[in-house]
């Protein structure tokens, strides 16, 4: 029993770390949008850069490849996980030497191409890790998979957005770190964007080395990835690529899947503007990036606790409908507030107090 518990703990930590790396890329990309706005990128340029997010929406087109084509010695998912993450790490390390130049000179097309490819890789990594987590926890508790995903992605996003923007800022570090510690002020933060990007890329490579050193020689994870042959012979059957795509088409012929797909494709329309334009408006009206980054601090707990709570209840779509109505109302409130920000942002009574509503965090006057 202790040995099984140790394996479970190791698997949980592995999946959380892999999702953390995924969240790191997502948060880092959102930070790049803040940097672009800080360097006076136009709305059109921001729109061009937003094309990088499409691979996550289209990953179903190439996801079957990971189930159908793999090297048996490495397993169904390590075959893809290792090269994908090493590639991401190398790109981040090389990018660290040029990123500040690309941002300052607003090389939007170049940035879009680079991050589109990074997002393509991280969307592929998401497919692989999703499948890996389901397999690791299918015999124990399938809810571990979604819990690990939530914890890992939120922490990774927090590190590469809030931590990056806040501690890279010289204003914040001088005011709240160096001044209380009686340290001399500097024109830079605790680290530079170059150093943080290089650090992020190195973590991808280090994690891959650890996975190879710990798991591959023992082949414990590899056996699990290959579906535990004794207990899951049916699942272990290797499908041809055409058969995998055919299975997906059959799945979408079911009415429930069609209805669910319509929900996923349309539910974001009602608050798309407030979700993706609010930050840009705040920057345009003079709110500093490090102040905006602090928005994520109180929402960190919410993004972790709410999914944990939802995993314990029934009728998830019913709860979704309740939350959806509430979120639409808050989107209207937020839009009204943004409209009046030019009149209150420079008043003496304007105080950045955080009001957390569903997935939105908005500024309200004191």
Q: Cα separation of 96 and 168, whole Å?
A: 14
The position carrying tokens 């699942």 is 235
- In this prediction, residue 2 carries a pLDDT of 59
- In this prediction, residue 239 carries a pLDDT of 67
CA 79 to mean position of chain CA atoms: 23
Give the number of other Cβ atoms within 10 Å of residue 237's Cβ. Answer: 9
The per-residue pLDDT for range 198-219, each reduced to its tens digit, is 999 999 999 999 888 876 655 5
The per-residue pLDDT for range 136-188, each reduced to its tens digit, is 877 766 677 888 888 899 899 999 988 999 898 888 888 888 888 888 888 88
DSSP 266-306: HTTGGGHHHHHHHHHHHHHTT--HHHHHTTHHHHHHHHHHH
In the 8-state DSSP scheme, what is residue 162? I
Q: Cα separation of 27 and 157, whole Å?
A: 4
Q: Which residues contact 159 (CB under 8 A, 6 or more apart)?
A: 20, 23, 24, 27
- In this prediction, residue 326 carries a pLDDT of 84
Domain 2-251 has CATH 1.10.150: no
pLDDT tens across the length of the chain (366 residues): 555 666 778 888 889 999 999 999 999 998 998 899 888 888 889 889 999 999 988 888 888 888 788 777 777 788 899 999 999 999 999 999 999 999 999 999 999 999 999 999 999 999 999 888 888 877 766 677 888 888 899 899 999 988 999 898 888 888 888 888 888 888 888 899 999 999 999 999 999 998 888 766 555 455 544 444 444 444 445 667 787 888 888 888 888 888 888 888 888 888 777 777 777 777 777 777 877 777 767 777 777 777 767 667 777 777 778 878 888 888 888 888 777 777 766 654 444 443 444 444 333 333
Could you tell me if 124 and 66 are in contact, meaning their C-beta atoms sit under 8 angstroms apart?
A: yes
| Helix (H), strand (E) at residue 59 | none
- In this prediction, residue 258 carries a pLDDT of 86
Please tell me the pTM assigned to this model. 0.82
Q: Cα separation of 122 and 306, whole Å?
A: 25
Q: 235: which 2 tokens?
A: 């699942």
Per domain, the residue ranges of the chain are 2-251, 258-366
- Let me know if 277 is exposed, middle or buried by CB neighbors in 10 A (0-12, 13-18, 19+): middle
């Amino acid at each position: 029993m202790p040995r099984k518990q140790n394996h479970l703990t190791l698997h949980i930590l592995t999946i959380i770390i892999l999702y953390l790396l995924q969240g790191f890329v997502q948060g880092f990309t959102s930070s790049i949008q803040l940097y672009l706005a800080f360097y006076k990128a136009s709305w059109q340029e921001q729109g061009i850069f937003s094309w990088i997010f499409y691979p996550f929406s289209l990953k179903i087109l190439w996801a079957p490849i990971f189930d159908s084509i793999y090297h048996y010695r490495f397993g169904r998912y390590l075959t893809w996980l290792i090269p994908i993450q090493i590639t991401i790490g190398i790109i981040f390390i090389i990018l660290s030497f040029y990123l500040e130049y690309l941002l300052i000179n607003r090389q939007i097309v170049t940035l879009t191409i680079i991050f589109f490819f990074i997002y393509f890789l991280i969307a592929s990594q998401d497919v692989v890790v999703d499948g890996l987590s389901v397999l690791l926890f299918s015999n124990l508790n399938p809810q571990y998979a979604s819990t690990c995903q939530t914890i890992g992605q939120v922490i990774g996003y927090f590190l590469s957005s809030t931590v990056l923007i806040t501690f890279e800022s010289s204003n914040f570090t001088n005011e709240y770190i160096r001044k209380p510690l009686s340290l001399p002020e500097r024109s830079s933060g605790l680290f530079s964007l170059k150093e943080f990007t290089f650090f992020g890329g190195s973590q991808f490579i280090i994690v891959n080395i650890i996975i190879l050193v710990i798991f591959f020689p023992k082949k414990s994870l590899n056996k699990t990835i290959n579906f535990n042959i004794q207990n899951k012979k049916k699942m272990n059957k290797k499908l041809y690529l055409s058969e995998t795509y055919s299975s997906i088409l059959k799945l979408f012929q079911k009415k429930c899947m069609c209805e669910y797909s319509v929900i996923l494709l349309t539910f974001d329309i009602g608050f798309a503007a407030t979700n993706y334009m609010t930050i840009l408006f705040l920057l345009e009206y003079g709110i500093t990036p490090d102040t905006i980054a602090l928005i994520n601090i109180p929402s960190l707990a919410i993004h972790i606790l709410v999914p944990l709570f939802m995993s314990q209840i029934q009728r998830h779509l019913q709860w979704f409908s309740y939350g959806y109505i509430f979120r639409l109302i808050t989107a209207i409130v937020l839009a009204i507030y943004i409209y009046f920000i030019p009149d209150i942002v420079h008043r003496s009574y304007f105080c950045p107090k955080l009001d957390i509503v569903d997935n939105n965090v908005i500024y309200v006057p004191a």
